[in-house]
Amino acid sequence: MRILIAEDDQVLADGLLRSLRTSGAVVDHVANGAEADTALVTHNHFDLLILDLGLPRIHGLEVLRRLRSRGDSLPVLILTARSSWHEKVTGMDAGADDYLAKPFHMEELLARLRALLERGRTFNSAGDKASARTLF
Ligand code: CA
């Protein structure tokens, strides 16, 4: 299981990295939209993307739009500021699978990621069911 986190808040990113790695995931972290875009173009081996929308250099929404315009169906959970309800709507329209408003409880994030992975597996072969089941 390989997860990409695009988040410029270092404290939040550190917490995410710690929790996800403890859960057994391999996690990459980028701190701006340009690096996120490059990582997504260069590597197609991610199973999940956690995408902050308020990213420097390239906005998270644009990162998401580019991903989807390449025909990539990678499951994406977007992180938004609590007050930016319109960003959630725009994000879902741009192809996000789920969203979470900050601040959030780590347990809720993990539960949403599990649900995303469950949904994704419906469309995959039975091959990696065992490994996905052991995550989180
Ligand atoms: Ca941010």
Beta bridge partners of 101: 80
Kindly report the backbone phi and psi dihedral angles of residue 74, in degrees, each rounded to the nearest multiple of 5, phi listed first: -50, 130
- Are 20 and 27 spatial neighbours (Cβ–Cβ below 8 Å)? yes
- What's the pLDDT at 18? 96
pLDDT band (50, 70, 90) for residue 96: very high
Beta bridge partners of 102: 81
Tens of pLDDT, residue by residue over 48-57, are: 999 999 999 9
CA of 10 to the centre of ligand 1 (A): 9
> Stretch 100-116: mean pLDDT, rounded?
93
- Are 48 and 73 spatial neighbours (Cβ–Cβ below 8 Å)? no
- What's the pLDDT at 84? 79
CA of 85 to the centre of ligand 1 (A): 15
CA of 2 to the centre of ligand 1 (A): 22
The rounded distance, in Å, linking the Cα atoms of 85 and 68 is 22
Question: Tokens for 77?
Answer: 């959970």
CA of 83 to the centre of ligand 1 (A): 13
To the nearest whole percent, how much of the chain has pLDDT over 70? Answer: 88
CA of 59 to the centre of ligand 1 (A): 9
Tens of pLDDT, residue by residue over 55-88, are: 999 999 999 999 999 999 999 999 988 777 888 8
Closest CA relative to residue 94, chosen from 129, 74, 51, 65: 65
CA of 56 to the centre of ligand 1 (A): 7
CA of 128 to the centre of ligand 1 (A): 33
Flag whether pLDDT at 25 surpasses 90: yes
pLDDT band (50, 70, 90) for residue 130: very low
